[in-house]
């Protein structure tokens, strides 16, 4: 049966609608696919960016790790070199100490030999059995004493040799104990305020306020060289006080010295020397009656060292210092006492003086030596005049009255120049900047 026109139109409409629907759906699907593709593209790009970022972070981490490894390797090499240098330095110090010990032994043997010669020379002067022909009359007030006249220059030469060796030995002993104490130094907990205040006050009296302040303000743990310098200055000063004393009583020294200077001006040196010899001998005999003074002086020296270390930051007692270094301290004291006796009692034809240089004196190469051989003197601001910070080694000179002089004119012979530490050491150690004044300059200002 033939289809009607209405049915055909309906089919066409439905077909068209289906086409449009299909086309619309296709467009929607296409759009969604495009959106999805765009989203995927963005995710891919984001993934690539994250990958690149992670790669960059990984590379940075690799570089950081490599840098850390290089730093650790460099640090390990540094500490290996430091360990090697420390071992080398320790070996050098041990060799130096061994050499110093050998020198001390040799010096002591020489001193024993020279003291034997000295005793023979002394007996030549004092032995009453010696013939008096060729002697001379020596006036002491109303008393006339006839003594044999040995060869004065030979006797002086013997004294020169003996006393010079003893001073050098004393310097070596002081250097050795200063080195040992310095090597054992370590910073402790803060001491009691009263203990520190007392130690600081006594250190100022012993070494002067500048050295005491340097010891207090500077950190010494890594480089204790200033402690070594201060120890030498302190012990050298203590030894010089003993050697230069008349009878170890401060109140009587000015009286004895004044009388002796007056006698030297008006009398022959040998007359004044005999009076000095008797005055020292019998004054000590009256005061101490032969008592051994070495132990007491050694304890005093231990106290001074303990004060110095306390100011520098250590926690230490006098007894600990004495117990550890008693042998060295008593050797220093006994050598000083023997020097005092020989210079004061045995020598009568001249005077021997141990030399120290006071803080802030201008360095004079004719009268003293820089212990560092002039290297430290070159440091510091341009145009700075080096001054003395402290004395490291005692010096020695002989003083004789000029023959025939009635005015007390003296001839001075330098036998050993004292060694000093210059104030420019503070620049060498980096304790102050070149623009800042040295400790002595601050004191002067």
DSSP secondary structure, 336-347, as one string: HHHHHHIIIII-
Mean pLDDT of the chain, nearest integer:
82
pLDDT computed for residue 153 by the predictor? 66
Question: Between β-strands 369-370 and 419-422, what pairing exists: parallel, antiparallel or unpaired?
Answer: parallel
* pLDDT tens by residue, 148-192: 444 566 788 889 999 999 999 999 999 999 999 998 888 777 778
Q: Which domain holds residue 266?
A: 74-127+135-444
pTM score over 0.75: no
17 occurs within a structural domain: no
- Of 223, 187, 188, 218, residue with least CA distance to 89: 223
What interhelical angle do 294-312 and 318-341 show, nearest 10?
130
Residue 118 predicted with pLDDT over 70: no
CA atoms of 46 and 9, how far apart (whole Å): 54
90, β-bridge pairs: none
Residue 7 covered by a domain: no
- Please check whether residue 320 lies inside any domain of the structure: yes
Number of domains in the chain: 1
Classified as helix, coil or strand, 159 is helix
Q: Is the pLDDT of residue 50 over 60?
A: yes
Other beta carbons within 10 angstroms of residue 186's beta carbon come to 12
Burial of 403 (0-12, 13-18, 19+ CB in 10 A): exposed
Residue 204 lies in a domain: yes
Helix H or strand E segment including 75? helix 5-126
27 lies in a domain?
no
Q: How far apart are the first and last CA of the chain?
A: 139
Angle, in degrees to the nearest 10, between helices 269-288 and 250-266: 160
Query: Which of the pair, 340 or 378, is modelled with greater confidence?
Result: 340
Statement: residue 257 has pLDDT above 80: yes
Q: Which of 416, 439, 412 is nearest to 369 (CA)?
A: 416
Q: Of how many residues is the chain composed?
A: 445
How many Å separate Cα 90 from the centre of its chain?
Answer: 17
Kindly state the percentage of the chain with pLDDT values over 70.
77
Within a domain: residue 35? no
In a domain, 11, yes or no: no
**Helix or strand run (H / E) with residue 411:** strand 410-416
The torsion angles phi and psi of 180, rounded to 5 degrees, stand at -65, -45
Q: What are phi and psi of 404, to 5 degrees?
A: 85, -5
Q: Does residue 87 sit within a domain? A: yes
User: Which two structure tokens, joined as six digits, stand for 435?
Assistant: 């623009």
């Amino acid at each position: 049966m033939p289809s009607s026109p209405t049915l055909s139109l309906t089919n066409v409409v439905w077909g068209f609608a289906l086409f449009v629907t299909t086309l619309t759906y296709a467009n929607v699907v296409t759009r969604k696919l495009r959106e999805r593709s765009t989203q995927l593209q963005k995710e891919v790009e984001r993934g690539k960016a994250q990958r690149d970022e992670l790669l960059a972070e990984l590379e940075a981490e690799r570089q950081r790790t490599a840098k850390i490894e290089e730093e650790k390797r460099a640090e390990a090499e540094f500490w290996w070199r430091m360990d090697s240098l420390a071992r080398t330095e320790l070996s050098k110090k041990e060799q130096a100490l061994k050499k110093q010990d050998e020198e001390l032994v040799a010096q002591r043997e020489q001193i024993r030999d020279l003291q034997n010669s000295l005793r023979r020379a002394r007996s030549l002067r004092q032995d009453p059995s010696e013939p008096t022909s060729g002697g001379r009359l020596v006036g002491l007030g109303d008393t006339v004493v006839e003594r044999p006249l040995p060869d004065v220059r030979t006797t002086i030469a013997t004294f020169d040799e003996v006393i010079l060796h003893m001073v050098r030995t004393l310097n070596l002993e002081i250097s050795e104990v200063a080195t040992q104490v310095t090597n054992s130094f370590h910073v402790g907990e803060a001491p009691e305020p009263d203990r520190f205040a007392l130690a600081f006050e006594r250190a100022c009296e012993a070494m002067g306020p500048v050295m005491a302040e340097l010891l207090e303000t500077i950190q010494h743990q890594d480089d204790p060289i200033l402690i070594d310098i201060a120890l030498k200055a302190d012990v050298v000063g203590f030894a010089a006080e003993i050697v230069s004393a008349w009878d170890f009583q401060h109140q009587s020294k000015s009286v004895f010295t004044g009388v002796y200077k007056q006698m030297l001006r008006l009398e022959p040196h040998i007359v004044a020397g005999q009076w000095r010899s008797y005055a020292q001998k019998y004054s000590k005999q009256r005061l101490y009656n032969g008592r051994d003074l070495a132990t007491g002086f050694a304890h005093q020296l231990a106290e001074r060292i303990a004060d110095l270390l306390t100011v520098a930051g250590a926690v230490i007692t006098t007894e600990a210092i004495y117990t550890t270094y008693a042998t060295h301290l008593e050797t220093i004291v006994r050598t000083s006492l023997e020097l005092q006796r020989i210079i004061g009692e045995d020598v009568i034809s001249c005077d021997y003086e141990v030399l120290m240089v006071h803080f802030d004196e201008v360095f004079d190469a004719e009268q003293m030596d820089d212990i560092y051989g002039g290297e430290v003197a070159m440091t510091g601001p341009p145009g700075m005049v080096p001054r003395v910070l402290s004395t490291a080694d005692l010096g020695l000179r002989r003083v004789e009255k000029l023959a025939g002089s009635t005015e007390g004119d003296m001839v001075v012979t330098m036998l050993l120049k004292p060694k000093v530490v210059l104030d420019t050491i503070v620049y060498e150690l980096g304790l102050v900047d070149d623009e800042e004044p040295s400790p002595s300059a601050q004191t002067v200002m």
